[in-house]
């Protein structure tokens, strides 16, 4: 009975830990979406809201860390359970960083002038959508401990990279033809780069989910 009780308590702990990470993921997705919406519409109020709400993600990460430490101290989990806690610690950290990228995009909203002239303003939200779906799906993979979905997320990162290359070239051409817009275009370069990094981080989480589910990193993917 004692063992059963402990197992049940551990399961409840880990479910709460996973719940916190799911909550972080939801906030990060919203932040990406709204940061890009603010960018496209020049909506500085929404941008300020995204920046402000990032504090919630920071607080949740601290909560994940504290809960993981508590579980490790109270339950001294072994093998798979231990690996699970370590994965949660790492994934919480990465999702917090994804939120930082969204915040960074939001911070650039006020620094862009003449937004109607930029073709990438059409491409960036589409790029953000792909990255945001990667974040969503990798957290689904995490919840379901599904290495197959994790692999699919990793494969989708190429699409984000292709968007990035295309937007980079487009912005450089735009700068060459319109030197007066260079400062704004440079901000958009960084936005594209931030989204590209979000894709990379979703990929990192996918690798961790794969590790957590199988005990190994996807062998055919360069880290």
Which residues are near a copy of itself by CB under 8 A?
A: 58, 62, 65, 68-69, 72-73, 76, 78-79, 82-83, 86, 89-90, 93, 168, 171-172, 175-176, 179-180, 182-183, 186, 189-190, 193, 217, 223
Tell me the torsion sign for CA atoms 24, 205, 193, 127: negative
Choice between 37 and 178, CB closer to a copy of itself: 178
Cβ-based nearer residue to a copy of itself, 41 or 180: 180
At closest approach, how far in Å is the CB of 39 from a copy of itself?
A: 18
How does 148-176 read in b/e, with b if 16+ C-beta sit within 10 Å? ebbbebbebbeebeebbeebbebbeebbe
Our CB check for a copy of itself shows the closer of 121 and 167 to be 167
| 3-state SS track over 88-151 | HHHHHHHHHHHHHHHHHHHHHHHHCCCHHHCCHHHHHHHHHHHHHHHHHHHHHHHHHCCHHHHH
Closest separation between CB of residue 46 and a copy of itself, Å? Answer: 21
Query: Which CB, 41 or 62, lies closer to a copy of itself?
Result: 62
In the complex with a copy of itself, the residue whose CB is nearer, 26 or 168, is 168
Quick check: helix, strand or coil at residue 24?
helix
In terms of C-beta density within 10 A (0-12 exposed, 13-18 middle, 19 or more buried), how is residue 19 classed?
Answer: exposed
Give CA torsion, residues 85, 87, 90, 96, to 10 deg: -90
Rounded to a whole number of angstroms, the minimum distance from the CB of residue 99 to a copy of itself is 11
Q: How far is the CB of 86 from a copy of itself (least distance, A)?
A: 6
Question: What's the rounded Cα separation, in Å, for the pair 47 and 39?
Answer: 8
Task: Tell me how far, at minimum, the Cβ of 30 lies from a copy of itself, in Å.
Answer: 20
Choose between 41 and 69: whose C-beta lies nearer to a copy of itself: 69
In the complex, minimum distance from the CB of residue 132 to a copy of itself, in angstroms, rounded to a whole number:
21
- Grouping H, G, I as helix, E, B as strand and the rest as coil, residue 71 is helix
């Amino acid at each position: 009975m004692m063992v059963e009780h402990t197992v049940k308590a551990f399961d409840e702990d880990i479910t709460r830990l996973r719940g916190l990470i799911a909550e972080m993921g939801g906030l990060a997705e919203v932040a990406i979406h709204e940061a890009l919406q603010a960018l496209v519409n020049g909506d500085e109020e929404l941008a300020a809201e995204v920046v402000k709400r990032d504090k919630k993600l920071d607080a949740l990460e601290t909560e994940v860390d504290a809960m993981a430490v508590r579980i490790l101290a109270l339950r001294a989990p072994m093998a798979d359970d231990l690996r699970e806690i370590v994965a949660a610690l790492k994934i919480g950290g990465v999702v917090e960083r994804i939120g930082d990228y969204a915040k960074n995009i939001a911070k650039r909203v006020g620094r862009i002038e003449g937004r109607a002239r930029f073709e990438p303003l059409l491409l960036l939200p589409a790029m953000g959508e792909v990255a945001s779906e990667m974040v969503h799906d990798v957290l689904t993979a995490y919840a379901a401990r599904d290495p197959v979905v994790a692999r699919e997320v990793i494969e989708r990162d190429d699409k984000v990279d292709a968007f990035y290359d295309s937007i980079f070239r487009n912005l450089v051409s735009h700068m060459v033809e319109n030197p007066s817009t260079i400062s704004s275009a440079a901000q958009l370069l960084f936005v594209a780069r931030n989204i590209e990094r979000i894709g990379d981080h979703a990929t990192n989480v996918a690798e961790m989910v794969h590790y957590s589910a199988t005990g190994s990193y996807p062998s055919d993917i360069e880290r």
